[in-house]
């Protein structure tokens, strides 16, 4: 349920509503907007008993949220949420471009890739330390040593860093070394992990599951938010379809749907969708044109020799070229880079 305040409602009116909710054992999510302030009721509204909030001063109306997700819904925060990571903001005018290798492989490799993506103009650095590989015999990542190297490369370049965790027990180390956590496609519905990340408060990229609907994805975001962490950025990375020419099928249509239904920022991962480096730019441009708030792209200083996902990683030159073009197209969509 959300409470819509009147256009001329004062701060006192809003504070009174929040206080009354609190007196009844309920929380409030206040979203000031240019038109009207929205107060989301957190908890079971049955606790209000016979109290009719609509009769309170400054209240225009009370409206139920029809989705199973509440905090993640657009209704709860019509202006859209912003997620800040060390001064960089997801969901604002500026497009966020995260670049970096699939995996941290060794110090030389992550350093060279980091310097390259920084020089190209990336806003953040990525690099996997815990790799969720399809086969148990594939490279599983450098784990905590990888996190330390990623941090080192981030500090050397001034880039904030993001890395995936695949289990709760990795959260403590991740909190020490990264600025943002990634929950990968394979763990989108790992609800225990989502809850722990929710409790941590650390900004998180939540990728869409390989075979999950948008509704399931937003419910997964709700798991994180319901634990108090509103710093969630969604990431469309392609879904499994009958098509095999690309690794996954980028669901570009998910971007406007998410923008309509949810207040959360959304970025595109064209790399895991394409599976092949030569298709990555086209998907990246499509994502931006559809309204995405940014990109997360796999980039390797020596892409052909990469230990994982070699075929889809961009060279530093290709990444720089991609960013140049994104800079040119951004103003058409009211954005900058």
Residues that bind Mn ion (CB under 5 A): 102, 309
**Beta carbon of residue 82, minimum distance to ligand PEP (angstroms, whole number):** 23
**Beta carbon of residue 158, minimum distance to Mn ion (angstroms, whole number):** 24
**Beta carbon of residue 8, minimum distance to ligand PEP (angstroms, whole number):** 47
Of the candidate residues 207, 247, 259, 300, the single one contacting ligand PEP (CB under 6 A)? 207
Give the number of other CB atoms < 10 A from CB of residue 121: 15
Nearer to Mn ion, 79 or 143 (CB): 143
Secondary structure of 162-199 in the HEC alphabet? EEECCCHHHHHHHHHHCCEEEECHHHCCCHHHHHHHHH
**Beta carbon of residue 271, minimum distance to ligand PEP (angstroms, whole number):** 8
φ, ψ (nearest 5 deg) of residue 101: -75, 160
Say which residue the tokens 């971007």 belong to.
Answer: 255
Nearer to ligand PEP, 206 or 320 (CB): 206
**Beta carbon of residue 333, minimum distance to ligand PEP (angstroms, whole number):** 24
Say which residue the tokens 């109290």 belong to.
Answer: 51
Alpha helices in the chain, H assignment, sequence order:
11-23, 107-120, 144-157, 171-177, 191-200, 214-225, 254-261, 270-274, 280-290, 316-329
Which string of DSSP letters, residue by residue, matches 22-49? Answer: HHTT-EEEEE--SS--EEEEES-GGGGT
Instruction: Work out whether 184 is an interface residue with ligand PEP (CB under 6 A).
Output: yes
Query: What secondary structure letter does DSSP report for 299?
Result: B
Among Mn ion, ligand PEP, none, residue 293 binds (CB under 5-8 Å by kind): none
**Beta carbon of residue 99, minimum distance to ligand PEP (angstroms, whole number):** 12
Half-sphere exposure of 71 (CA within 13 A, CB side): 20
Nearer to ligand PEP, 44 or 145 (CB): 145
Instruction: Work out whether 259 is an interface residue with ligand PEP (CB under 6 A).
Output: no
Nearer to Mn ion, 263 or 271 (CB): 271
Distance from C-alpha of 171 to C-alpha of 132, rounded to nearest angstrom: 15
Among Mn ion, ligand PEP, none, residue 247 binds (CB under 5-8 Å by kind): none
Cβ contacts of 145 within 8 Å, gap of 6 or more: 129
Q: Are strands 38-42 and 2-5 parallel, antiparallel or unpaired?
A: antiparallel
The sheet carrying 27-31 orders its strands as: 27-31, 38-42, 2-5, 59-63
Of the candidate residues 118, 160, 272, 335, the single one contacting ligand PEP (CB under 6 A)? 272
Instruction: Work out whether 178 is an interface residue with ligand PEP (CB under 6 A).
Output: no
Distance from C-alpha of 270 to C-alpha of 248, rounded to nearest angstrom: 10
Instruction: Work out whether 185 is an interface residue with ligand PEP (CB under 6 A).
Output: yes
Nearer to ligand PEP, 185 or 290 (CB): 185
Q: 210: helix, coil or strand?
A: coil
Nearer to Mn ion, 141 or 294 (CB): 141
**Beta carbon of residue 304, minimum distance to Mn ion (angstroms, whole number):** 15
**Segment lying near ligand PEP (by CB under 6 A), choices 30-38, 66-74, 136-144, 183-191:** 183-191
Q: Tokens at residue 318, please?
A: 């290709």
- Binding string, 236-255, against ligand PEP, x = CB under 6 A? -x------------------
Instruction: Work out whether 295 is an interface residue with ligand PEP (CB under 6 A).
Output: no
**Beta carbon of residue 323, minimum distance to Mn ion (angstroms, whole number):** 19
Say which residue the tokens 């996190």 belong to.
Answer: 147
| Size of the residue set binding ligand PEP (CB under 6 A) | 11
Q: Tokens at residue 125, please?
A: 């650095």
**Beta carbon of residue 272, minimum distance to ligand PEP (angstroms, whole number):** 4
Q: Which positions touch ligand PEP (CB under 6 A)? A: 102, 128, 132, 164, 184-186, 207, 237, 269, 272
């Amino acid at each position: 349920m959300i409470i819509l305040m009147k256009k001329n409602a004062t701060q006192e009116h809003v504070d009174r509503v929040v206080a009354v909710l609190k007196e009844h054992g309920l929380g409030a999510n206040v979203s000031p907007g240019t038109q009207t302030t929205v107060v989301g009721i957190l908890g079971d509204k049955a606790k209000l008993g016979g109290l009719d909030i609509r009769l309170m001063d400054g209240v225009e109306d009370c409206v139920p949220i029809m989705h199973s997700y509440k905090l993640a819904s657009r209704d709860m925060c019509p202006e859209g949420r912003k997620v800040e990571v060390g001064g960089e903001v997801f969901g604002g005018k500026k497009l966020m471009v995260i670049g970096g290798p699939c995996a941290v492989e060794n110090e030389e490799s992550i350093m060279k890739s980091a310097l390259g993506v920084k020089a190209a103009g990336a806003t953040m650095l990525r690099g996997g330390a815990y790799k969720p590989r399809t086969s148990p015999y594939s490279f599983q990542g450098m784990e905590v040593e990888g996190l330390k190297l990623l941090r080192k490369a981030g500090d050397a370049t001034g880039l904030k860093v993001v890395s995936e965790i695949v289990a709760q027990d990795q959260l403590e180390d991740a909190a020490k070394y990264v600025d943002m956590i990634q929950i990968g496609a394979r763990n989108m519905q790992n609800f225990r992990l989502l809850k722990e990340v929710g409790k941590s408060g650390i900004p998180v990229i939540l990728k869409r599951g390989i075979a999950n609907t948008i509704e399931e994805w937003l419910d997964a975001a709700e798991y994180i938010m319901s634990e108090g962490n509103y710093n969630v950025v969604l990431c469309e990375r392609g879904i499994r379809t009958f098509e095999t020419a690309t690794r996954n099928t980028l669901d570009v249509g998910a971007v406007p749907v998410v923008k309509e239904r949810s207040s959360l920022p959304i970025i595109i991962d064209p790399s895991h969708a394409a599976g092949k480096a030569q298709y990555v730019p086209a998907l990246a441009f499509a994502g931006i044109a559809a309204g995405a708030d940014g990109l997360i792209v796999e980039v390797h200083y020596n892409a052909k020799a990469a230990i994982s996902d070699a075929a889809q990683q961009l060279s530093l030159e290709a990444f720089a070229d991609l960013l140049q073009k994104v800079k040119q197209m951004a103003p058409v969509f009211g954005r900058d880079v």
